[in-house]
Amino acid sequence: MASLSKDGHGWRILFVCPTTKKRHTVRTGRGARKNAVTARNMVEKLVEARRLGTAIDGQTAGWLKAIDDKLRGRLARVGLIDLPGATLLGPFLDGYIDQRRQRGDVTDSTIEVWGHTRRNLVGYFGADRDMRAITGADADAWAAWLCTGEKLAENTIRKRSQFARMFFSVAVKRKLLPENPFAGLVGTVVSVPERQHFVGRETINALLDQCHGPEFRLLLIMARYFGVRVPSEIVPLKWGHVDWETMRIIITSPKTKRHRGGGKRICPIFPEVAPALREAWEAAPEGAVWIFPSIRTSQKNLRTWLERAILRAGLQPWPRLWQNLRATRATELADQYPSHVAAAWLGHTEQIADRHYRQTTGTHYKRAIKEPTGPLPGQGEKLAQKPAQYPHEIGRKERNQQTNTTQNTRSYGALPASANTPSGGHGTRTRNPGQGAPHFQ
C-alpha cells in the first residue's frame, strides 16, 4: 500500500490517497532505516483507516502523539489525519482575514468586503463545516443561493465568488485541500448597461443649489469634473496637494496604491473645478490642512446625502450615484483627450475605462448623423471631416466663453490674477502678514 525510498533529502513514503486517488509523498527526513520503516507502516494503517472509515488503533495513535509537529503537519496536508480546526470553514476564514489585516497589505475597505463574503459562506455552509467536504456542486449551489436567497445583483455574486475562490485557493496552497471547489465559478465583473447613466451638467448645476456650504459644493464638483472616487480619494486630500501656480493637484488613491506608481496621480485643476476650489480655500480657517475636514470627521453617509439632494432638486436618483459621476467625466475626457491621458488623470487603465466607465451618449449619435468621418461618396476630398469642438452639450461659442469664465450656476467666475491668488507650494493654509494674501509654507 505504501512504498519507501531514499534520495539526497532523506527517506520518503509514497502512497495513493484513498479519497482523491492521487499519489502523495510524505518525507520523514534523514534517519535510521528502522524508523523510516515504522513510519511507512503507520502511514499504511492511516490509509487503511481512511479507506474503511474506521478509527485508528492505539499503537498508531501513540505514534502520532510522539512525532513532531512538522511531520504531523505533512500527514495532515495529504489528508491522512485531521488537525483540530485546520479545515473548519469559520476558523479558517477568520484566521486568514485576521492574518492579512495584521500584515497590513490590504485596505480596511477590502477587509470589509471580504467580511461580506465570509458572512455568506458561513451563513450557507456553517462555521463548523469541514472545507474538505465542500464539493464543486456545493459551490454552484452557494452561488445560486446568493441570487435566489440573498437577492444579490449579478456583479455582486461574481465578486463574492471571486473572493470565495481566493479563500479556498489559499487552503489548497497550504495543502489543506486537494483541489478548489470554487474554481469553476465566474468571478469577472461585467459592465451592466442598464446601470449606466450620463449625468449632464445641467443636473450638477441644479444640485449645487442643494449643497450647504463650500465644502459640499466642492465635493459634488470634484466628483463630477475630477472623477474622484468617493469617499476614498476625498478623505486624504490636503491643501498642500494643491499647486496654484501650475494649476495642478495631487490625488491620493488608497484603492490603487498597491499597484506600481498607482498610489498618487497629478491632475490639472480644470476650469470647472477652480472657482469652487478657490471658494473652499477662502472659507477654510487659518492653518487648515484638510480640504474636506467635516467629511473626514463625520459619520455622514455620502450616498444618502447625495440622494436627498437629488430629490430636493426635484430630480430622479440614478443608479450608482457617485460611480456614474466618475463614469460621466471619463466619457467626456476620452472625447477631448487621448485615451491614455484621460485614463491617467482618472487613475485607471484604458482597459478598465472601456469596460466600466466610458459610455455612448446621445451627443455621440447627434455628431454621427451630422458630421461625416471623411469625404462623402463621390465628393473626393472636398468635404473634410468637421472636428468636434466640445461634444457634450456645449458648442464652439460657449466653450470659447468658458476659457475666460467658468460655467457655474453660482457664478463663481474665473480666478483673478491678483495678489490674493494662492501661490504654489505645499503645506497648510497661512496668511502673508505683509500682503494679507494666502500662500503655502
Given a contact cutoff of 8 angstroms between Cβ atoms, the answer to whether 164 and 114 are in contact is no
One-character DSSP codes across 207-250? HHTT--SHHHHHHHHHHHHT---TTTTTTT-BGGGEETTTTEEE
Ranges of each domain in the chain: 2-77, 89-173, 201-375+386-404
CATH topology (fold) of 89-173: DNA polymerase; domain 1 (1.10.150)
pLDDT value for 384: 46
Which residues of the chain carry a pLDDT beneath 50? 383-400, 402-426, 431-441
Q: Who's near 413: CB < 8 A, 6+ residues apart?
A: 275, 405, 406
pLDDT value for 352: 66
If DSSP states are collapsed to H, E and C, what string results for 315-366? Answer: CCCCCCHHHHHHHHHHHHHHHHCCHHHHHHHHCCCHHHHHHHHCCCCHHHHH
Starting at the earlier edge strand, list the strands of the sheet with 242-243. Answer: 242-243, 248-252, 264-268
pLDDT value for 304: 95
Query: What are 72's three cell numbers?
Result: 504531523
pLDDT value for 353: 58
Task: Report pLDDT digits (tens) over 254-301.
Answer: 876 665 655 788 899 999 999 999 999 999 999 999 999 998 888 789
The CATH code of domain 201-375+386-404 reads 1.10.443.10
Query: What are 181's three cell numbers?
Result: 471547489
pLDDT value for 259: 57
Rounded to the nearest 10°, the torsion over CA 412, 413, 414, 417 is -90
pLDDT value for 8: 86
Q: Which long-range contacts (CB under 8 A, 24 or more apart) does 316-320 make?
A: 318/197, 318/199, 319/194, 319/195, 319/196, 319/197, 320/195, 320/197
Q: Which residue has the cell 466619457?
A: 331
429 forms beta bridges with 440
Query: What DSSP designation does 152 have?
Result: -
Given a contact cutoff of 8 angstroms between Cβ atoms, the answer to whether 327 and 228 are in contact is no
Calpha distance 287→25 (Å, rounded): 66
- State the helix-helix crossing angle for 69-77 and 33-52, rounded to 10 degrees: 40
Asked if domains 89-173 and 201-375+386-404 share a fold, the reply is no
Calpha distance 200→270 (Å, rounded): 17
pLDDT value for 11: 93
